[in-house]
Amino acid sequence: MIQETEKVDLLIRGGMALTLAEEKEIILNPAIGIKAERILFVEKDDWEGLRQIYAKETIDASGTLIMPGLVNTHTHVPMVAFKGMADDLPLMDWLDRYIFPAEKKYVNREMVYTSARLAVAEMILSGTTTFCDGYFFESAVAEAALECGIRAVPGAGFIDPAFPSPPDLTKQVEIARRFVERWAGRSGLTRPALFCHSPYTCTPETISAVKEVARESGVPFLIHLSETRDEVELTKNLYGMSPVRHLRRLGVLDGNTVAIHAVWVDDEEVEILGDHGVKVSHCPESNMKLASGICPVPKLLERSVTVGLGTDGAASNNDLDMFGEMDKAAKVGKVAGMDPTAVSAKAVLRMATIGGAAVLGMEREIGSLEPGKHADLILVDLKKPHLTPMYNPYSHIVYAASGADVKTAIIAGRVVMADRHLMTLDVEAAMAGVAEIAEAVKKNPSFSRFSP
């Protein structure tokens, strides 16, 4: 309770707040106070204590919906440079003939840093305030994110190119530990993770060694899991069992493991994931575009598996707009079960906010608008023809709104976008940098299928 005049850095007044909190879930005409990067209060604008508040800056949120920033639980942000390079292909063909060779030829630290800045611009512009990544030269992603003021969980990527040749485990462990040590505690905006590409591109030894470092340091362990039928069959041929059972045998399934995709999992495997507390990142647009299949979200939720949403990389999506991801997650979930009540708008919005935060182990810090949490929030402009009228804010955000409707974005109490203008990076320069990379790719006939 405020007893005397309180100074806040930022006061947001007006509009509607969709807090995603257990209490005060929807507040009409709210007042939200932010101090020292955190939310101090979320009250109605007629709150008596507001008279004792002095604000350095005030935002008039009239005509907007204020909500937590979106949490993208899985992407490969440098892959914006390969957006549209090889579309309309099966996953294995797409990877083996185009993506893996292109990465081998063009991916370096400068490419990753340049592409990450453009990806961050796209994410902020479409309402994402936190993203979890996995790629090569991941420190360059972390640096770009930190410079641009977005909250990030960068995952250092591991893959065994000469698989099934024995990997250099000593080197793998050294890289993993060095990455975690570099980024753990360096900034409140950036937390490290470790990412093994998949059970079929990483040896059991690599997976176990990297997971052990993740377990020792308490950081998330990320892995593509059961994304396609081909992956399941390949893993069975290699190890005599499905990917989920293979990882269980390796002992890497626990509450700090994030299974990405989890499309081809049977009922027993859903139980295994639930029993071990494994979190799932659901990427519906990428799964649809690559015809990988449909994640059994209702079964996972029924088993109390924590599910968040991810866009995957822009090369298989082809955008990083989490609003589109929410829409597809709800609709594909209904079609999969031929049940219009399955995967509701409210459930999907939770996956994109507080659920996504829980996938990353950050639900006590972000994902809802509550006192004490980090001030990561967005203002959605409701004064649009396609957003008029509004009956149900959950349905409105999931089925009618898009990333382009996000007017303002605030991360850790800092306004990073105001009236659609990015405050922390030069978007034109970011676009030019990636366009230059794309020109080099286009000149190589091996990677450009449709260039003139």
**Domain limits of the chain?**
6-68+373-422, 70-358
Q: Each residue of 409-419: pLDDT tens digit?
A: 999 999 999 99
- Contacts of 61-64 with CB under 8 Å at 24 or more apart are 61/12, 61/13, 61/14, 61/15, 61/30, 61/379, 62/14, 62/15, 63/14, 63/15, 63/381, 63/382, 63/383, 64/14, 64/15, 64/16, 64/379, 64/380, 64/381, 64/382, 64/407, 64/408
pTM: 0.96
DSSP string for residues in 12-37: EESSEEE--SSSS-EEESEEEEEETT
pLDDT of residue 444: 82
Check whether 452 has a pLDDT greater than 50. Answer: no
Name the one residue in this structure whose structure tokens are 């490969």.
Answer: 76
pLDDT of residue 294: 97
DSSP string for residues in 98-137: IIHHHHHHH--HHHHHHHHHHHHHHHHHTTEEEEEEEESS
Judge if the upstream peptide bond of residue 220 is cis by omega within 30 degrees of 0. Answer: no
Report residue 167's pLDDT band, with 50, 70 and 90 as the boundaries: confident
Q: Per mean pLDDT, which range of 86-95, 363-372, 376-385, 429-438 is the poorest?
A: 86-95
Distance CA 56, CA 77 (A): 35
Distance CA 267, CA 273 (A): 10
Q: Each residue of 171-187: pLDDT tens digit?
A: 999 999 999 999 998 88
Q: Each residue of 117-166: pLDDT tens digit?
A: 999 999 999 999 999 999 999 999 999 999 999 999 999 999 997 655 67
pLDDT of residue 13: 97
Distance CA 243, CA 265 (A): 9
Check whether 214 has a pLDDT greater than 70. Answer: yes
Is the fold of 6-68+373-422 the same as that of 70-358?
Answer: no
Q: Which of 27, 129, 8, 16 is nearest to 415 (CA)?
A: 129
Identify the CATH assignment for 70-358 out of 3.40.50.10490, 3.50.50.60, 1.10.1740.10, 3.20.20.140. 3.20.20.140
Check whether 4 has a pLDDT greater than 70. Answer: no
Mean pLDDT of the chain: 94
35 has which bridge partners?
38
Check whether 448 has a pLDDT greater than 80. Answer: no
The answer to whether domain 6-68+373-422 has CATH 2.30.40.10 is yes
Check whether 215 has a pLDDT greater than 50. Answer: yes
Q: What is the number of other CB atoms lying within 10 angstroms of the CB of residue 294?
A: 16
Cβ within 8 Å of residue 417, ≥6 positions away: 124, 125, 406, 408, 409, 423
3-class secondary structure, 284: helix
Integer CA distances (angstroms), 60 to 13, 45, 95, 380, 407, in order: 5, 12, 47, 13, 12
Q: Which two tokens stand for residue 213?
A: 């470092």
Report residue 200's pLDDT band, with 50, 70 and 90 as the boundaries: very high
Check whether 392 has a pLDDT greater than 70. Answer: yes
